[in-house]
Amino acid sequence: MSETEIVVRYAETDQMKIVHHSVYAIWFEAARTDYMEKAGYPYARIEEEGLMLPLSKLECKFLSGARYGDTVVIKTFMKKITPVRLEIHYKAYRKKDSALLAEGITVHAWTDSSLKIINLKKKSPALYSLLEKEAGADT
């Protein structure tokens, strides 16, 4: 699991003065990138190896609102990996009071640079092994 802190910018809020729902997908991407970096396999390295992780599913359940200036902590953890798919879960909390703001899931396919689905276990055994060890670390 990793934790990524994001300070809410004014441009991320809507007329109701809370973070717009569309921003959470961007935050999840930032947290996922941070997670992979902390796991020792940054996205740049994945792409250098000719691997891609296109998004196939995105879910988000909104529980409370964040506002301009709030610090949001996104806890990211690998839930499931198969040779062709990766499932990552996110929990976004307001730092000052630990209020759970949102819970999300992204599912990605492992592909080559032409977006053809590949078997990660065969293509990059080291990466598969690393992520397999990470999978299931729930909070």
Q: Residue 97: its pLDDT value, please?
A: 97
Of the candidates 96, 98, 22, 97, the one whose C-alpha atom is nearest the C-alpha of residue 62 is 22
Q: Residue 139: its pLDDT value, please?
A: 42
Rounded to two decimals, the pTM is 0.91
Tell me the percentage of the chain whose pLDDT exceeds 90: 87
**How confident is the model over 72-100, as a mean pLDDT?**
96
Q: Residue 135: its pLDDT value, please?
A: 82
Architecture of the 2-133 domain = Roll (3.10)
Q: Are 80 and 72 in contact (CB under 8 A)?
A: no
Whether residue 138 is predicted with pLDDT greater than 70 in this model: the reply is no
Q: What is the mean pLDDT of the chain?
A: 94
Q: Are 21 and 60 in contact (CB under 8 A)?
A: yes
**How confident is the model over 71-77, as a mean pLDDT?**
97
Whether residue 133 is predicted with pLDDT greater than 90 in this model: the reply is no
Task: Return the sign of the alpha-carbon dihedral for residues 139, 78, 107, 73.
Answer: positive
